Amino acid sequence: MTVATKSTTASQELEHPSAPLLRMERIPHVWCPSCGIGTVVKCYATALERSGVDLDKVSVVSGIGCSGRVAGYLKLDGFHTTHGRALPFATGLKLGRPELLVTVISGDGDLVGIGGNHFIHAARRNIDLLVILINNFIYGMTGGQNAPTTPQQARSSTMPYGNFETPFSLPHLAASSGASYVARWTCLHIRRLTWSIEEAIHKRGFRFIEVIAPCPTLYARLNKLGTGLDAMRFYHDTAVIRNDADTRELDISFQSEITCGKFVDEERPTFLDLMHNHYSDQLGDRYVPTPPEGGMLHEQ
């Protein structure tokens, strides 16, 4: 889309700086004003451009929900899948064509609510997936229901007296399940988030980045937290960066301090490494790996 503003003349049309990576014909997007998801999309697009990777080899997979719509706005091979199943779908893509850089971008309800089982197993396998989880503490698309990430005391439409369940601490879940890269940022930390995504693009294995994002329409309204700008002020005042923090100490309480940073960054054999090494040992010359470009049967 070309955006003409009052400060430009008719002949000067501004293009979105990430336009080559966006499906501009689909703009305006579905997200609410001051929702945090667009910020994450921009950081991801910037990180991809800076990374120098071949964009033709990048696939983005999303599940269902507000963040599930991310795959639909990026001009990459994009898959908008079923609720909770982005990770196993992405696992199939990666194993079918191992040369792909497969990114999963989806929400908290999708990836660790309905998709929680897939999340721990994908991390356990340390399969080569870059996972960006946008955590807005609530089910936004369906109208503000309680999520497995909703802090205790926070209100949601299905916890009208405040949430009494214990939420997941996602970096701890990812790290203890076997992820080889774990970080958390907020939508205020756009440079650190972009840098972190770029760093993770160049790493291998299961890479997990949680992004705390405002949901002004539901989470903030139900909890009287003000506007998206108020959320930015809150992140500014209460987020602290503690790289290498113990992931057992990253719980988020209602309007509490949010610990950000990179908590895990260690090279471990990936699913494909382990598979190749094991079959090579066991089968020797009889082992035929799936070619990087995939196991497709070509016309002869």
Partner 1 sequence: MKADPAGVLTGSHYLDGDVACGEGAMAAGCRFVAGYPITPSTEVVERIARRFPTLGGTFIQMEDELASMAAVVGAAWTGTKTMTVTSGPGFSLMMENIGLAAMMETPCVVVNVQRGGPSTGLPTMVGQGDVMQARWGSHGDYEVIALCPQSPQEAFDLTIDAFNLAEIYRLPVMFLMDECVGHMTEKVVIPEADAIEVEPRRLTDKSPEEFGPYQINGGQIPEFARAGDGYRFHTTGLTHDERGYPVMNAECHDASVRRLVGKIRDNADSIVRFEEEGMDDAEVVVVSFGITARVARLAVEEARSRGIRVGFLRLVVIWPFPEKRIRELAGSVAAFVVPEINLGQIALEVERVAAGQAVTWPVNHAGGAVHDPDAITEIIVKAAS
Residues that bind partner 1 (CB under 8 A): 23, 26, 55-57, 59, 61, 71-72, 75-82, 84-85, 87-93, 95-97, 99-100, 117-118, 121, 275, 279, 283, 286-291, 293-300
Whose Cβ is closer to partner 1: residue 190's or residue 275's? Answer: 275
Token reading at 272: 């494909």
Tell me how far, at minimum, the Cβ of 247 lies from partner 1, in Å.
Answer: 22
Tell me how far, at minimum, the Cβ of 298 lies from partner 1, in Å.
Answer: 7
Whose Cβ is closer to partner 1: residue 61's or residue 188's? Answer: 61
Whose Cβ is closer to partner 1: residue 104's or residue 258's? Answer: 104
Whose Cβ is closer to partner 1: residue 98's or residue 151's? Answer: 98
Whose Cβ is closer to partner 1: residue 46's or residue 186's? Answer: 46
Whose Cβ is closer to partner 1: residue 143's or residue 289's? Answer: 289
Tell me how far, at minimum, the Cβ of 92 lies from partner 1, in Å.
Answer: 3
Tell me how far, at minimum, the Cβ of 67 lies from partner 1, in Å.
Answer: 14
Tell me how far, at minimum, the Cβ of 22 lies from partner 1, in Å.
Answer: 11
Tell me how far, at minimum, the Cβ of 45 lies from partner 1, in Å.
Answer: 13
